[in-house]
Amino acid sequence: MITSNLNNLELTEFTGKLDRSQHCRAAFPVNGAVGTKDSATVYFEIEPGEHLGRHTDSAEELLLVLDGKAEAIVGNESGIISKGEIAVVPKMIPHDVKNTGSTKLRMLGFFGGANHIIATFDDKWMPVDSNVVDTLQMVQ
């Protein structure tokens, strides 16, 4: 059995190279590197006023708000989601998440049908100086 405790993850801190409001702490607790065959997850935290960064993912994603309030921007649509709500992000559609609340935003993204996810961002992330995030390179 594969398990993960979201309360004990080692999070990596990322900041946009050009846009300092693009900032999060993240981990991929469940993915092919730990033995899944057809799914993966990403856990991330965003502080008030900051955002994840516009990007595409190589698989469809379900975004679940664990705590806080967010504006989910998916393609040309946007909407506010809060604790307990889910937004669906189709494969390869540009999307972003902004913390519109006054507390830390905690989210869990579920990727179905793939255990290896490639996310390609518009802006490069620091400290890695790359706009590509590969789940197989970010094991908890």
Using the predicted structure, report yes or no on whether residue 100 has a pLDDT greater than 90: yes
Kindly report, residue by residue over 102-138, the tens digit of the pLDDT.
Answer: 999 999 999 998 888 999 999 999 988 999 998 877 6
**121 and 131 Cβ atoms separated by less than 8 Å:** yes
Residue 114 identity (one-letter amino acid): A
CA neighbor of 19 nearest in space, from 137, 139, 140, 131: 131
Average pLDDT over residues 59-69: 98
**Mean pLDDT over the full length of the chain:** 94
Domain ranges of the chain: 11-137
Closest CA to 55 of 107, 91, 26, 94: 94
Neighbours of 67 (CB within 10 A): 14
CATH pick for 11-137 out of 3.40.50.300, 3.20.20.10, 2.60.120.10, 1.20.1370.10: 2.60.120.10
Residue 83 CA to residue 85 CA, distance in Å, equals 6
- List, for residues 24-35, the tens digit of each pLDDT value: 999 999 998 888
Residue 108, helix vs strand vs coil: strand
